[in-house]
Amino acid sequence: MTTARRLILGLGGITALLVLVGCGNPDKERAMSLQDRVNQLQAENDDLRSRLAAATSERDQWRNRAAALEQENANLRQQLAKQPAGGELPPGWKGTREFAWLEVGTDVLFDSGKATLKSGAQSKLQQVLTEINQNFPDRMVWVLGHTDTDPIVKSGWKDNLDLSVNRGATVYRELMKLGVDPKRMMAGGQGEWLPVAPNTGRAGKQQNRRVEFIVVPPRPTATGGPAPETAAPERAATPPK
């Protein structure tokens, strides 16, 4: 019995030792498992923070884009509001929205037989330019001088054509001073050869003495290819090329 008791006690001690050793390992494993879970949660948290930052940045970009589009829309609405209703031309203009012309009597701009602007002519040209900029901002501008059939007398010009060309050039230069890009303009004159009324009376001759502003689509550039073909409206005559 003594030997058996000793064996039982010995086995009990070993069992207790194994239990004690066994109790330490689960705690360590549990601690390691918890640490792994903490690391995993930390990595997930970092990933969520990174995704949140990216989403916030993308949201801000879309907000800025929306604001830019809203501003662009407002600008276009303002430009549209300045356009004549129904595509109509400004008062005094003839033609279409692509090909239009305005005639200003030279009596408003020049003294008889002169090609120097009269006092106050600049205000009239500023008015014409304002109408062009508001209604035809992308058009070329032709400036043509015209005269009646009365012969040139003691004025220094060769003939009416010479006078009309110089008047067209004077207006061209004044428009340049007012800020028009010279590449956008052409100047010339047709003398007495394109009347709008008979030259048989004073009233008709007065109508024929004029400067004509013609707006046309821009000509093609060297790299831009040909301009769209658009038929010009019929007029009494075709402006010189």
In 10 A of CB 210, how many CB atoms? Answer: 25
Lowest mean pLDDT among 79-93, 145-159, 226-240: 226-240
Residue 37: pLDDT band by 50, 70, 90 thresholds? confident
Residue 24 above 70 pLDDT?
A: no
Stretch 132-153: mean pLDDT? 95
Domain-embedded: residue 238: no
Residue 8 above 90 pLDDT?
A: no
Q: Does residue 1 sit in the same domain as residue 95?
A: no
d(CA 239, CA 25): 104
Kind and range of the H or E run holding 59? helix 2-82
CB 192 within 8 A of CB 208: yes
Which pLDDT score is estimated for 73?
67
d(CA 149, CA 198): 10
Residue 142 above 70 pLDDT?
A: yes
Distances (CA, A) of 127 to 104, 110, 121, 122, 124: 11, 17, 10, 9, 5
Kind and range of the H or E run holding 187? strand 185-189
Mean pLDDT of the chain: 82
Which pLDDT score is estimated for 198?
97
Number of domains in the chain: 2
pTM: 0.59
Q: Does residue 12 sit in the same domain as residue 62?
A: yes
Lowest mean pLDDT among 15-19, 27-31, 163-167, 192-196: 15-19
Which has more confidence, 19 or 120? 120
Question: DSSP character for 119?
Answer: T
Dihedrals phi, psi of 95, to nearest 5 degrees: 105, -140
Domain-embedded: residue 228: no
Which pLDDT score is estimated for 107?
94
Q: Does residue 57 sit in the same domain as residue 119?
A: no
- Could you read off the pLDDT of 198-233 as tens digits, one per residue? 999 999 999 999 999 999 999 776 655 544 444 344
Which pLDDT score is estimated for 71?
81
Measuring CA to CA, which residue among 227, 238, 216 is closest to residue 96? 216
Please give the structure tokens belonging to residue 224.
């831009």
Q: Does residue 140 sit in the same domain as residue 76?
A: no
Q: Does residue 45 sit in the same domain as residue 148?
A: no
Kind and range of the H or E run holding 103? strand 100-105
Last residue within a domain, chosen from 17, 50, 82:
82
Q: Does residue 121 sit in the same domain as residue 190?
A: yes
Stretch 31-45: mean pLDDT? 85
Lowest mean pLDDT among 12-21, 29-38, 71-80, 188-197: 12-21
Domain that holds residue 56: 1-82
Query: Residue 181 — left, alpha, or beta (φ > 0 → left; ψ -120 to 50 → alpha)?
Result: beta
What CATH number did the domain enclosing 202 receive?
A: 3.30.1330.60
Last residue within a domain, chosen from 48, 63, 82:
82
Q: Does residue 6 sit in the same domain as residue 68?
A: yes
d(CA 129, CA 104): 12
Kind and range of the H or E run holding 143? strand 140-146
CB 214 within 8 A of CB 93: no
Which pLDDT score is estimated for 236?
45
